[in-house]
Amino acid sequence: MLDQSLLGELQRWRLGSEALEGYFPLAYLVAGTDGVGTKLKLAFETGIHETIGIDLVAMSVNDIVTSGARPLFFLDYFATSRLDVDLAEKVIKGIVDGCQQSDCTLLGGETAEMPDFYANGEYDLSGFAVGIVKKDSVIDGKTITVGDVLIGLPSSGVHSNGFSLVRKVLARTDLSLKDQLPGDSISLGEALMAPTVIYVKQVLDIISKGGVKGIAHITGGGFTDNIPRVFPKGLGAVIYKDSWVVPPVFKWIQEAGKIEDTEMRRTFNMGIGMVLVVSKETAVTILEDGHRASIVYYIGEVVSGDGVSYQ
């Protein structure tokens, strides 16, 4: 049985944020959880399992850094029909890599074997990250105003969203995952399986300079749904369509699938995986020094109105 002191401690935690005040009087804990969606199907088809763990970590840590939070630790859940140790090792190595890229400790996780629930050789993944941010350093978009600048950080490709549509396009084309991607030197499978960029170190470095007012992780929903979420009511964004280089994989998806621009922008990141809303003064500093040789783009501005428009 639990002793009374431990029961009392558990009760304090059940009280939620009021209890947490006693433990973290000057900071907030920020948590995120996600998976990698149907990108797993392509991992099974291509046999590329070494990077899917990076995707898993990226989806959670990239979410929590949008609040200005520094990731502290990560846990994973790996489920399969029957454990293939070699395959699992490849996946876990990717998770370790992702945690190293984000300076996040891998505390542990759960491995579940569920015979007859998953097909042989297939598995499912989910991840959980917790970070911390000082209360006076939270980035919540409340100070965003008309005239602020949108800075885009490039993606590595599709990342981990939109793969249901990608798979539909693949079914309509004569190309196989081993064929060369039109307009590029790598195979279609390699392009689609490129690991999600982990933006934690770059974003925290930019935040440390000051002037960052809002951050949007461009995942499912693309620019159309994700950018407006960080704006106060009555504000929208104008995106300059030709202000960055769209990776060849998106051009192939659009042409092969005969997909309209609006659907592409709502489904995919189109080459920009993270958007920072900053003051004009901060934008000049970031763009002038190239942010320590990292590529950044001036992709738009904040305007009066609602939603996202393109020009």
Answer yes or no: do 105 and 194 share one domain.
no
Lowest mean pLDDT across 23-37, 95-109, 218-232, 282-296 = 282-296
For residue 81, being part of any structural domain is answered with yes
Answer yes or no: do 208 and 102 share one domain.
no
Buried b (16+ CB within 10 A) or exposed e, 79-101: bbbeeeeebeebbbebbebbbeb
Predicted pLDDT at 209: 87
For residue 10, being part of any structural domain is answered with no
Structure tokens at 88: 């699992």
User: How many residues comprise the chain?
Assistant: 311
Q: pLDDT per residue over 164-220, tens digit each?
A: 999 999 999 988 999 999 988 899 999 999 999 999 999 999 999 899 999 999 999
Predicted pLDDT at 10: 42
Answer yes or no: do 103 and 128 share one domain.
yes
Answer yes or no: do 65 and 209 share one domain.
no
Answer yes or no: do 93 and 197 share one domain.
no
Q: pLDDT per residue over 20-55, tens digit each?
A: 555 566 899 999 999 999 999 999 999 999 999 999
Q: For the residues 6-27, what does the mean pLDDT come to?
A: 54
Q: Is 276 helix (H, G, I), strand (E, B) or coil?
A: strand
For residue 7, being part of any structural domain is answered with no
Amino acid at 21: E
Whole domain around residue 257: which residue ranges? Answer: 149-310
Domain of 49, CATH number, reads 3.30.1330.10
Answer yes or no: do 130 and 108 share one domain.
yes
Q: For the whole model, what pTM was predicted?
A: 0.90
**Spatial distance between the Cα atoms of 103 and 80, rounded to a whole number of angstroms:** 28
Q: If you search the block for the tokens 């960055």, which residue do you land on? A: 244
The total of structural domains in the chain comes to 2
Answer yes or no: do 101 and 196 share one domain.
no
Predicted pLDDT at 23: 56
Q: What are phi and psi of 39, to 5 degrees?
A: -60, -25
Of the candidates 126, 142, 15, the residue with the CA atom closest to the CA atom of residue 68: 142
Q: Is 111 helix (H, G, I), strand (E, B) or coil?
A: strand
